[in-house]
Amino acid sequence: MAVLPPRGVKPSYQFPRVMLAPVAGYTDRPTRQIAREKGCSLTFSELISARGIYEFNQKTQDMLDECRDEHPLIFQIFGAEPEIMYDAVRRVEDLGVDGVNLNLGCPVKKVFKTRSGCGLTLYPVHLVHVIRAMRKATNLHLSVKIRAGVNHKSLIYKMIGDIAQGEGCDGIIIHARTRLMGFGGQANWDWIADLKDYLDIPVIGNGDVIDPESAKRMIDETACDGVMIARGAYGNPWLFRRIEHYLDTGELLPEPAPEERIATLMRHLRLAVEWKGERKACFEMRKHISWYVRGLPCVRVMRDKVNQCETLQGMLDCIREWSESTDWDAYFAKLAAQGHETGDSLPPHRSVSLRVA
């Protein structure tokens, strides 16, 4: 039997059913804003160092500034020193965020070897003091994000769940892989179900949710309280609304039309330039462009050109040139021949023009 939660009062904010995972180098402010606009109920900050906050590191301060006036937002931090974690949480609370999340799942070696991320789970007594300090620092929603263990011989998710629940956490997110698995292999949803059955606090499942059907399967098979999506949402911010609709009605909304995908990509580009400056934004958006145009025709040449661009206008021109030179009628006909229902989600060639974008 799990340790009972010590807090009788729930925080004002609670996890929704569907949320965007925190991913370093991906879930920056422009990406989070696009996700919310397309139906995401909750986003998390990128992984941020508590020591960086404590020492007023400039790069960390820039990441903090990205989080101002953003709702709903959970702030994710990592670290291993209780005093520093306490101070970091107090400063984060001043930003007006909706909650704080402790990362206990990051598998990266440089984080792991400092006893942070997944490495902190190997020191359970120390982990108790870290979470206790964070709980003392705030009454905001407090959660942890974990992996099942370091490897299959050290599946310690129930022990970590005991600590989190016993020290007053309001929820736990489990990525159903071990550190050794990294981001490969199939996520083991049985671990999610086991943890959900064991704990009283809400349990959010993470791992291999890529579409509305897999989201529903995870909830049905594990009884988890919600799903967190990472790679499935890359270049696909419409996924959150499609999942919510499917969970409510059992009906699959159509995939976004190419016109909407390209227009959203262009808006994402402009937001990135606003927040990061042109040069940095153009470099970082190259990967996002590839994700947005996955599965669309004749994208290789466009991607190669975009990867050489260092200006916003250059990137927009490359995308427009590709869009207007693509034979969309042939593309839709090919999809229809393969048995795909095109319907209204795939507009005729003239509807894909982006001259006004």
Q: Where are the domains of the chain?
A: 18-249, 258-352
> 256: which residues sit within 8 A by CB, 6+ positions away?
238, 264, 345
Residue 342 φ/ψ, nearest 5 degrees = -80, -55
Q: What is the pLDDT of residue 336?
A: 80
Helices (H), 94-138: 109-112, 124-137
Residue 48 φ/ψ, nearest 5 degrees = -125, 135
Intrachain domains 18-249 and 258-352 with the same fold: no
Q: Are 262 and 357 in contact (CB under 8 A)?
A: yes
- Rounded CA gap, 82 and 4, in Å? 23
Give the single-character DSSP code of 81: -
Q: What is the pLDDT of residue 169?
A: 97
Q: Which CATH number fits domain 18-249: 3.40.50.1000, 3.20.20.70, 3.40.50.720, 3.40.50.2300?
A: 3.20.20.70
What angle (nearest 5°) sits at the alpha carbon of residue 121, between those of residues 215 and 42?
Answer: 35
Residue 317 φ/ψ, nearest 5 degrees = -65, -40
What angle (nearest 5°) sits at the alpha carbon of residue 180, between those of residues 177 and 181?
Answer: 45
Grouping H, G, I as helix, E, B as strand and the rest as coil, residue 188 is coil
49, β-bridge pairs: 78
Q: What pTM did the predictor assign?
A: 0.91
The domain made up of 258-352 has a fold known as 1.10.1200
Q: What is the pLDDT of residue 334?
A: 81
Q: What is the pLDDT of residue 6?
A: 65
Q: Indicate which residue of 40, 106, 118, 309 is catalytic.
A: 106
- Rounded CA gap, 204 and 225, in Å? 6
Q: Are 199 and 165 in contact (CB under 8 A)?
A: yes
Q: What is the pLDDT of residue 353?
A: 31
What angle (nearest 5°) sits at the alpha carbon of residue 256, between those of residues 73 and 299?
Answer: 105
Q: Are 140 and 99 in contact (CB under 8 A)?
A: yes
Q: Are 92 and 73 in contact (CB under 8 A)?
A: no
Is the alpha carbon torsion for 111, 112, 118, 120 positive or negative?
negative
Q: Which of 233, 308, 24, 263 is nearest to 271 (CA)?
A: 263
* 282 labelled catalytic: no
- Give me the torsion for CA of 178, 100, 220, 156, rounded to 10°: 30
The size of the chain, in residues, is 357
Give the single-character DSSP code of 200: S
Answer whether the bond into residue 72 is a cis peptide, omega within 30°: yes
Q: Which of 348, 328, 267, 337 is nearest to 37 (CA)?
A: 267
Q: What is the pLDDT of residue 117?
A: 94
Structure tokens at 125: 């007594």
- Rounded CA gap, 242 and 255, in Å? 8
Q: What is the pLDDT of residue 236?
A: 96
Which amino acid belongs to residue 276? K
pLDDT under 70: residue ranges of the chain: 1, 3-9, 340-357
